[in-house]
Structure 1
Amino acid sequence: MYSQKAIVSRGTTCYTTENNSVVKFTWASGKRTAEVDHLTQAKEKGVKGVAGIVAHHRIATIAEIRKKLKFPTAHRFQNGADDPSLASTSTSISGNKRKSSSSATDTVSRSNKRQRSDSQKLNRKLSTQPSSSTSKTKPALSAPSEDLWEDRIYSCLVISPAGRVISEFTDIKQLLESMRDAIKAHQSLFVTGKILHRDISPNNIIITDPETADSLKGMLIDLDMAKAQNSGPSGARQITGTIQFMAIEVLRNIDHTYRHDLESFFYVLLWMCGRQSWYNGFSGNKKAPQESVFQQWEIGSFSQIAMNKKGNMSVTFEIVLEQFPEKLKVLEPLCWKIRDILFPYHEKGIIIGTPEGDPEQLYRPIIAAYEEAITDLYRLQHR
């Protein structure tokens, strides 16, 4: 059902089974807590809305494969910040989508977005490599105090239930209900499970069948980048997240919080309405905009994208909403409400930081805004 196309990546490959499960093979960082450990903790604490474990098997590690290998010198990578070809690997996805059918384009979209994410992560990783090479013979994996090699663990994880990514939504109600339930899942994962997801993107929010998913119409998947609350740094080298949906402060390398994930959920909603919907049958007779605001969220340096997003969430928010096709204009009030919840104004402009105190001060009004939008949509459709 899914295969990662990037050359340098976690190599994630997923298969569906006859009993509505998903089999996932991936090379995860040895410096991060394994996804199976996060899922186990979530299950033990009674987290709702996150896929459950069916089975797990650790297959191999880079450390084991390289155990007897020695390398005389460390390769010196060129700094990505100095190379224009590495500074911007993203390309517009709209051209690809206009050339094929809706089902095929969704697959292309997911592959391209995942490719861009991993390529951009790689660029930042290259820019942080040690600048000096070593003349002494090094073991295949360096000592814990060094950062020349990163161990990877190849494993197979079977989870249930299966679903389809949110970018395949076919009607507005389905989009809203799956987004609402995924945010509730995040709330349960963070508040009850004490785990922060840290990689909210369309690839990690799935539309589910309520009959096989405990009455849920949306769920949260992929805890590869997750982190237990109050735990120390993972030691992995890159900022976590998918660049188009990263929060402004995360792009500025500020410690990741629950509010940053809620900000990412908002970017997913805006992207689905203003970008993806044009290719999901909501465009009518019109073509998608040739120049999209959302292109500014995927091209350039982290600091440039952060600046673009901050501007879009303040003075140019109306321009973002103008990207919605006519059928999605009904969701503009919801977007204004969530914008005001996440980015309140003060005398110096919008606030982008995480408020102190109970996380429910953000979860509760955002979920309520979705509930109200779903109710309003139902009333509108049944006049």
Structure 2
Amino acid sequence: MLLAQATRRFVVGFTICGTLMRVLVFDRLGGIASEQIDINKEPVQFIEVMLGFFRMSEEDLGFDPTIKITDGEPGIEIERNGRSECIVIDGLIIRMRCMVGRPTTCWKAHVKDLLETPLVIKNSWQPSERDEEREMLKQATSQNVVNVARYYHHEIVRLDGMIDDVPLQRSDNKRAAHAPDEYTHKHKATVRSNRLCPTPKQKDLLQVFENKCYRATNTNRSASACYHVGLRQGHNNAIYKASSRKALLACLEGCFKVQRPQISIRQRDISINNLMINEDPDNPSRKSFLIDLDFAINTEREKKPSVAQGKAGTRAFMAIGLLEGAEHTFMHDLESFFWVLFWLCIQYEGPGKAIEPTPYPSLNDLSDMTLACLKSGVISNCKFSEPEKLEFTPYYQPLIPHVCKLRKLVFPGGRARDKPFPQLYSKMIKVLHKAQKDPAVLAE
């Protein structure tokens, strides 16, 4: 139910097996289960439980209380620049399909009565020991850094006046490699809490069972996280929906410019879901930009990621050196752009058309070292000497010569660079720019 209903913060219910009944409460942190009762032997308790469920409000049942329905439209209220604003939720963009961790959800929205101000609401958990994404976005916006999402607003979710926080399970900051499914839904909603804190009516239900409850959670937890709501300006599509090969390369080049040495922000999670493209002439957003600065660092404040930040990225696009345990550098981000382009060429047969099955279906099941070895094999001289072995889809085969040029720059001699190469940025930009003028690429 947590996956199926976007408005769910937690689930409260009961099970009846024969004559045995048990009350359950689940959230993303774990679950609470009451001691079972026999409804034939304890009919009064059974009736009390049923009456308790009938008396519950939607909030008691686990639905998000922060969504307000105004004039028939779902939305959230924020305080920005000293005044209240109503943000109308238009629909769901992305909801990460996970039960634990950082279940990020993004919504398309706009300021009420200002349709020309498109926004994206991002609900996510931010570890307290990591730089908050809002600070990175504010810095990029104030410095007018192009090709980075523009900051609009941010706040930490409070429920009953308390900051919504939970313990975190450490997962080395890794994510699934595939593009998430997209949904349309009727009941548009929003901020979830992972904290399982029974409401008074839930407590009454559990007390019916003499307070004998059992909680199932993962005990391998460290640090904590607070639930954040961030709003950025503009709504666009992910790069894999680019309408043409040229548009895809232009988007890649635009996002690549964020890696300029003069820019102090290092995004550290280059992936097909974080490179955005805008091909709508009526959309005021930038033509291409990077989103998701959850794992970003500011090189002016810190020379290297903290232990808490650790290994970051989406595994399919992580640099070989990172998978082998090297310290994260700008060279690794440049390599990630190569893997994004390579992945698109083997995974998609047209704009937004992913193939099934993928040539590499089980990347998320491999260990870091195994994945590093697999990638080393992919970029070897032997593999690239015979383009037919690259398994590019027919749609992206015109990009083979340009991908080969990038491969020679990023992996000279068929091996990842082990030393910084400052000229790599400008050389890769030239390849991407020149590829957009290739007649074979332009032909449809």
Length-normalised TM-score, structure 1: 0.69
1:44 counterpart = 2:117:
no
Instruction: Give the corresponding residue for 2:415.
Output: 350
Q: Structure 1 residue runs of 4+, over 6 Å off?
A: 212-215
Instruction: Give the corresponding residue for 1:267.
Output: 339
**Corresponding residue pairs, total:** 300
Distance apart, 1:352 and its partner CA: 2.7
Q: 2:268·2:295 contact (CA, 8 Å) conserved in 1?
A: yes
2:181 partner SS = helix
Instruction: Give the corresponding residue for 2:404.
Output: 336
Instruction: Give the corresponding residue for 2:427.
Output: 365
What letter is aligned with 1:207?
I
User: Greater share of strand residues, 1 or 2?
Assistant: 2
Query: Relative to 1, partners in 2 of residues 1:308 and 1:157: Cα closer, same or farther, differing over 3 Å?
Result: same
Aligned partner (choices 291, 305, 320) of residue 221 of structure 1: 291
Cα distance per residue 1:209-243 (max 9 Å; x no partner): 47577784321111000011134543426521111
Cα distance per residue 1:227-278 (max 9 Å; x no partner): 1113454342652111111100110111111111111111110111111236
Partners in 2 of 1:290 and 1:24 — Cα distance?
Answer: 30
Aligned partner (choices 205, 224, 230) of residue 151 of structure 1: 224
2:232 partner SS = strand
1:375 counterpart = 2:437:
yes
Cα distance per residue 1:297-355 (max 9 Å; x no partner): 4431000000110111113234686311223211011101100111112xxx6243242
Query: Relative to 1, partners in 2 of residues 1:11 and 1:156: Cα closer, same or farther, differing over 3 Å?
Result: same
Instruction: Give the corresponding residue for 2:108.
Output: 16
1:330 partner SS = helix
CA RMSD of aligned residues (A): 3.4
Higher RCO structure (Cα 8 Å, ≥6 apart): 1
Distance apart, 1:280 and its partner CA: 4.0
What letter is aligned with 1:337?
K
Structure 1: 5+ residue stretches without partners: 70-76, 81-88, 94-105, 111-146, 283-287
Partners in 2 of 1:291 and 1:26 — Cα distance?
Answer: 29
Instruction: Give the corresponding residue for 2:379.
Output: 313
Q: For residues 196-345 of structure 1, what are the structure 2 equivalents within 5 Å?
A: 196-209=266-279, 211=281, 216-229=286-299, 230-236=302-308, 238-277=310-349, 280=352, 292=359, 294-295=360-361, 297-314=363-380, 315-317=382-384, 318=386, 322-345=390-413
What letter is aligned with 1:350?
R
1:192 partner SS = coil
Query: Relative to 1, partners in 2 of residues 1:226 and 1:355: Cα closer, same or farther, differing over 3 Å?
Result: same
Length-normalised TM-score, structure 2: 0.60
Q: 1:178·1:217 contact (CA, 8 Å) conserved in 2?
A: yes
Q: 1:45·1:192 contact (CA, 8 Å) conserved in 2?
A: no
Structure 2: 5+ residue stretches without partners: 1-92, 111-116, 184-219
Quick check: which has more Rg, 1 or 2? 2
Q: 1:173·1:377 contact (CA, 8 Å) conserved in 2?
A: no
